[in-house]
């Protein structure tokens, strides 16, 4: 990425040159224009400079144009197409790339500078990006406020296509918060509008998002049905990149169902498409998801190699968010392979990156990973410390799903320490949240942990009741926990018989 832009062409588009500056009257505008010429002609970043340093000339040009209220020219700067190796439509503009590189504060500053200065169309682009960025940063309530404002503007100008897109963004945000039913409501509203305006392409996206929400609710048959509709629509357009996204979502659902071989077959198709179009970001998603499937199958070397490849590509395109996710994925693979030193190293590296770009949701995942590692090693106090940090962030984000998971982890750890009252409190709170948000995957794990706790504290009736409920849910979800619950129930029942004799 040594040459991200061509300064000569940009000066020509702006209608600025050294000659025009010379004949201008003394004042702020001449000073600003002279600075722009200098930044775009004399500033030469080092070859190994960061991407932010490489586009510093553009950024300084933008701020100088804003200083003299040349808003249209300033807008053209942030929409400058950069020469990157990311082959994704409409994401090479300067304002998009700042987010990909993890420079969110700079990105937000640019967008806020131009907001309310031109027209509704520009404002909607800025608001949409501000909403997306705040979502990435975990500022979910702020993102909701931005998209609600966006929705108000769109409804005033009666643009149904844009309205459907914003409703979709709101649905994704409520999914992040663990409010899956609310997510379904927004995606359903979006789908209704898309049907009304006969926007088949966006209908497919709505089906895909609804499928993800139903997957979160562990309603896998409904999720598969909706995602198959998405795939059918994608294929009807003969757009392979669009099809690849639909396939990737479907693959994640099959992983959730424990159908790992089927998911790998799907990811391999995704991979062929992403490589064909040199779509590095989609390739990273495919590799990471395929790695998780291999990891759950116990094929750890394949999982580790795939995550390493995903990590390499993330570094290549300088996508900090994907880099952090790949490191956390590597941590998971090494952990499952019982290579605890490597797992810890990767979780810590992932934590450093997620904190650096303020990816709070990713930070929680890294902390949970470290909590799981230290739990496996019997370092219970350290595990509690990691999970407490994760819990605090989850509560600040109002992310109910991650809150339930960290509470569950704290409960099992206090159980191991023999602090049964504290363990019970955490597990019951986790169960309440899991039931509230219909997170049945977490619910079955919590009920199993409660059954173990009641069994340990010699409360066989309560232990059996929780274990029976856990087993029923596990069977409905067809998860690997079925065998563990059956074994635990048998143990509880055997002890009940022995005590009665």
Structure confidence at residue 365 (pLDDT): 94
Give the Cα-Cα-Cα angle 124, 127, 132 (nearest 5 degrees): 125
Cβ contact 200:230 at 8 Å: no
Mean per-residue pLDDT of the chain: 90
Average pLDDT over residues 378-385: 96
The residue to which tokens 């022995």 are assigned: 498
Percent of the chain with pLDDT over 90: 63
Asked whether the predicted pLDDT for residue 85 surpasses 70, the reply is no
CA dihedral 322, 325, 326, 331 (to 10 degrees): 170
For the ranges 146-150, 222-226, 354-358, which has the lowest average pLDDT? 354-358
This prediction has a pTM of 0.80
Query: What is the pLDDT confidence band of residue 2, given thresholds at 50, 70 and 90?
Result: very low
3-state secondary structure of 93: strand
Asked whether the predicted pLDDT for residue 1 surpasses 60, the reply is no
Q: How far is CA 391 from CA 400, 445, 477, in A?
A: 10, 18, 26
Strand partners, 441: none
Structure confidence at residue 357 (pLDDT): 82
d(Cα 291, Cα 304) in Å, to the nearest integer?
7
Question: Which CATH number applies to 121-238?
Answer: 1.25.40.10
Asked whether the predicted pLDDT for residue 207 surpasses 90, the reply is yes
3-state SS of 27-74 is CHHHHHHHHHHHHHHCCCCCCCCCHHHHCHHHHHHHHHHHHCCCHHHH
Structure confidence at residue 498 (pLDDT): 66
Percent of the chain with pLDDT over 70: 96
Domain boundaries, the chain: 1-114, 121-238, 439-501
Phi, psi of 81 (to 5 degrees): -80, 120
d(Cα 330, Cα 359) in Å, to the nearest integer?
18
Q: How far is CA 301 from CA 61, 261, 445, in A?
A: 49, 16, 27
Cβ contact 172:134 at 8 Å: no
């Amino acid at each position: 990425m040594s040459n991200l832009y061509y300064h000569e062409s940009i000066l020509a588009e702006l209608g600025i040159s050294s000659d025009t500056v010379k004949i201008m009257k003394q004042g702020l505008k001449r000073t600003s224009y002279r600075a722009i010429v200098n930044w775009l002609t004399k500033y030469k970043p080092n070859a190994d400079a960061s991407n932010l340093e490489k586009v510093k000339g553009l950024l300084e040009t933008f701020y100088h144009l804003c200083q003299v209220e040349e808003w249209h020219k300033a807008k053209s700067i942030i929409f400058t197409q950069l020469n990157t190796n990311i082959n994704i439509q409409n994401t090479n503009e300067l304002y998009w790339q700042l987010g990909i590189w993890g420079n969110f504060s700079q990105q937000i500053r640019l967008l806020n500078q131009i907001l309310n200065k031109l027209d509704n169309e520009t404002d909607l682009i800025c608001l949409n990006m501000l909403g997306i960025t705040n979502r990435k940063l975990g500022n979910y309530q702020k993102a909701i406020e931005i998209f609600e404002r966006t929705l108000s503007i769109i409804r005033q100008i009666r643009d149904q296509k844009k309205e459907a897109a914003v409703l979709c963004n709101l649905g994704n945000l409520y999914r992040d918060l663990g409010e899956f039913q609310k997510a379904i409501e927004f995606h359903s509203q979006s789908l209704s509008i898309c049907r009304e305006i006969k926007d088949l392409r966006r209908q497919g996206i709505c089906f895909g998002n609804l499928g993800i929400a139903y997957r979160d609710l562990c309603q896998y048959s409904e999720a598969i049905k909706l995602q198959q509709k998405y795939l059918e629509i994608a294929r009807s357009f003969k757009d392979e990149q669009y099809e690849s996204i639909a396939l990737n979502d479907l693959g994640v659902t099959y992983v959730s169902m424990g159908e790992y071989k089927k998911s790998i077959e799907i990811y391999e198709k995704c991979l062929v498409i992403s490589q064909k179009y040199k779509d590095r970001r989609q390739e990273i998603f495919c590799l990471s998801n395929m790695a998780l499937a291999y990891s759950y199958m116990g094929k750890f070397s394949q999982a580790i190699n795939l995550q390493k490849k995903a990590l390499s590509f993330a570094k290549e395109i300088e996508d900090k968010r994907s880099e952090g996710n790949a490191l956390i994925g590597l941590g998971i693979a090494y952990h499952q392979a019982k290579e605890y030193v490597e797992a810890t190293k990767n979780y810590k590296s992932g934590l450093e990156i997620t904190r650096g770009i303020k990816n709070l949701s990713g930070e929680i995942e890294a902390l949970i990973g470290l909590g799981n590692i230290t739990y496996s090693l019997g370092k219970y106090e350290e595990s509690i410390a990691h999970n407490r940090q994760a819990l605090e962030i989850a509560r600040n984000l109002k992310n109910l799903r991650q809150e339930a998971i960290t509470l569950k982890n704290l409960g099992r750890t206090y159980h191991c320490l023999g602090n049964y009252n504290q363990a019970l409190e955490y597990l019951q709170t986790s169960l309440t949240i899991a039931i509230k948000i219909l997170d049945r995957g977490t619910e079955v794990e919590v009920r199993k942990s409660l059954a173990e706790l009641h069994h340990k504290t010699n409360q066989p009736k309560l232990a059996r009741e929780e274990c029976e409920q856990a087993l029923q849910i596990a069977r409905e979800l067809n998860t690997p926990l079925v065998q563990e619950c059956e074994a635990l129930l048998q143990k509880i029942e055997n002890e009940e018989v022995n005590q009665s004799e």
